[in-house]
Amino acid sequence: MGHLGSANPPSEISKKQAEARLVAAQQRLLRLRLLLGGQIGEKRIGPPLCVVFEGWDASGKGGAIKRLVAPLDPRHVRVSQFAAPTYDEKRHHFLQRFWNVLPGNGGMSVLDRSWYGRVLVERVEGFATQEQWTRAYDEIAEFERTLAAEGMILIKFWMHVSEDEQLERFESRRTDPLRSWKLTDEDWRNREKRAEYEAAVEEMIDRTDRPKARWTVIAGNNKPHARLAVAEHVCHLLETRLAKRGYDLSAADQDGGPHD
């Protein structure tokens, strides 16, 4: 079945119920974020939180990120998107360009694509040599181990959609003048290599899924359920990690409504 086949299907709830639970999760995350930043509760700065999104083209990464950060003050979270490295970035080690966007203590960063490009698109498209992308698994694992050792809470998502669902979303984008810019010739070319990308994704998860840097595969065919799954998982993992570090979560349990 592989890692991609292990994604839990959406629970049997309606779209309306999923949206209501999403709102609750968003408010929960808001309070946890304020606790992390020392704005409520014990007023001590918590560990950095970094949420990494990878996934198929048109898999819903942008929509999930938008819902995840929607209730948060823009001063308290940074969203960074990564495309192909620039000429100057290629002069450095491939991990160098990611350091500056990582959160400090009490901070939160969300990455729309990440260092995993080395073992995905750069591997499949031949932008990295076999020696480079093969070596990258250990480099990435050590990089994440170092971040975790310094206290960072690292959450990694793979947004998974079926081949048929992806095609439907491509066609929908192509005919929508306000979203057609999202669809490129590269997206179509990548789709033709889906089998190669699936093999790369399976190996990526297999070799970089570690106790403090776990991968979570999100079944993304149903957008409302996928967005809910992302938000609830972030809340659950953040609560678990903070509790293990001795944080009093009672301040985050108080339902004070939205905060300015």
The answer as to whether 159 is a domain residue is yes
Length of the chain: 260
The answer as to whether 9 is a domain residue is yes
The answer as to whether 254 is a domain residue is no
Q: Structurally, how many domains does the chain consist of? A: 1
The answer as to whether 55 is a domain residue is yes
CB environment 88-119: b (16+ within 10 A), e (fewer): eeeeeebeebbeebbbeebbbbbbbbbbbbbb
The answer as to whether 81 is a domain residue is yes
Q: For all residues of the chain together, what is the average pLDDT?
A: 93
The answer as to whether 257 is a domain residue is no
Give the CATH number, domain containing residue 64.
3.40.50.300
Average pLDDT (159-173) is: 96
The answer as to whether 25 is a domain residue is yes
Q: In which residue are the tokens 């999100």 written?
A: 218
The answer as to whether 255 is a domain residue is no
Q: pLDDT band for 1, please (50, 70, 90 cuts).
A: low
Q: Could you read off the pLDDT of 208-237 as tens digits, one per residue?
A: 999 999 999 999 999 999 999 999 999 999
Q: How far apart are the first and last CA of the chain?
A: 46
Average pLDDT (151-177) is: 96
Residues spanned by the domain of 37: 4-249
Q: Is the pTM of this model over 0.75?
A: yes
Share of the chain above pLDDT 70, in %: 96
Sheet of strand 49-55: strand arrangement: 78-81, 108-112, 49-55, 153-160, 215-219
